[in-house]
Structure 1
Amino acid sequence: MDHPRPVERLCHAIGLLLVVSGLAHLAVFAVDGGPWYGPVSWRKPVTFGLSFGVTLIAVTWVTSYLRIGERPRAALLAVFAADCMVEVGGITLQAWRRVPSHLDMETPFDTAVSMTLAVGGGVLVVLLTVFAAVSFRYRPTGPVGMPAAVRAGFAVLLVALASGAAMIARGVVLTRTGRQEAAYRSTAPLKPLHAVSLHAVLVLPALAWLLSRTSWSDRARRRIVAAAIGCYAAAVAAAGVWAALTR
């Protein structure tokens, strides 16, 4: 196994830091209490810290199977890591200030934080779309089943990005028209779809990697990966149908 490159070590360290931040805020919630759901709660630094941390580590690992130059990959990963820190940092800051992190235009400072998070979300979309495009343009490397798992993981991740962008766009429109409470409620139907599709880029390649450690035939491993992709696609479709029915 190759030794981790500097950018990979940096991304792993930042990802671990974000995960620790999420767990630390879970402890804060246990002590401080308060609502778990809603625009102002400790849930947000917990879930965002864990999700961004795990996703950063996963993307750093999975992109090692992409046919992309080391320098472009390092540059993209460095920007991705910085963006993850900005997103989690802004959300955590607002949680401690006891104000909403997203869609909050009450003061100039809150507006600046909300818009920074929105722009950061746009940067995430661009970066991860680039990685997804590379995975489909050039067949990924890796053991049996890994190319399909990587491509499917990035494809499903694009669904997460699209649903996240839709939540922000809809919320901003409602906020700017004076319907703040409606803006917060408008994100609820898409949250399950966003959550389900977010971590396919880790789950599916991890399954392919685990299967590569077995003595099973190549044919069996391909079938298992294909079945897992099908199951994940069905889960995403079900979440999408639920979102459409509860709008």
Structure 2
Amino acid sequence: MTIQMVDILGVPFSSMTMEETLSYITKQLHDRETVFHIVTANPEIVMCARKDPGFEKVLKQADLITPDGIGVVKASGLLGQPIKERVAGFDMMNQWLAQLSEAGKPVSVYLLGAKPHVVEGAARTIASYPGVTVAGYHHGYFKKEEEAAIVEQIQKAQPDILLVALGFPRQEEFIQAYKHELRAKVAVGVGGSFDVWAGEVKRAPKWIQSIHLEWFYRLCSNPSRWRRQLVLAEFLKEVLRERKTVKS
């Protein structure tokens, strides 16, 4: 299957729907020699890559970048390359695990990141899916010199799926740095998903998600995020500048 790509400010996004994405990544579980790296990218990640050439290189080495953020979807329309729908990392993983369970396909998962009690809680939630085994987990509070030991733990576990919740760009950089050593089949940077699975953070109600205001719900729930929200305006400014360039 050939992935149709859409360039948003230099970042190559997949334009597949959620259903198409789930079908595609399921195929990656079979006989991979190296990790299939999935990045779920929002406007913050795009802007980080725009300012950091090293991170931009890491992103472009990923095997699949999904549009996790309605801002990316809206930007694609403004640039004349509309992406069909948002493919959020948290929703993608929940639906994927559910699909694999319903299909009777046993899979093992390793979780890396977040606080100790959070990753433990997330592991319990993921283990509740029939046929899903938690091969191991480790919190995200480790130093650079401890990475080799953690990679060795993941190697021994040999999980089908590795979920890394270290926040960007650290989670993407970790996966790429050890891509040929991890012995997992699929690795996904999942940001704050462990907090949701552990019950530490609540998702916005479905109706708020449906009108694309989940970002506003998060801001109201955690006002300290306001500085992070400023990047959305910067992202829009860059998109409009790019649109003007394309049209001229």
Q: Structure 2 length as normaliser, TM-score?
A: 0.31
Asked which structure has the greater RCO (Cα within 8 Å, sep 6+), the reply is 2
Structure with the higher fraction of residues in strand conformation: 2
Q: Which has the higher helix share?
A: 1
TM-score after normalising by structure 1: 0.31
**Which has the greater radius of gyration?**
1
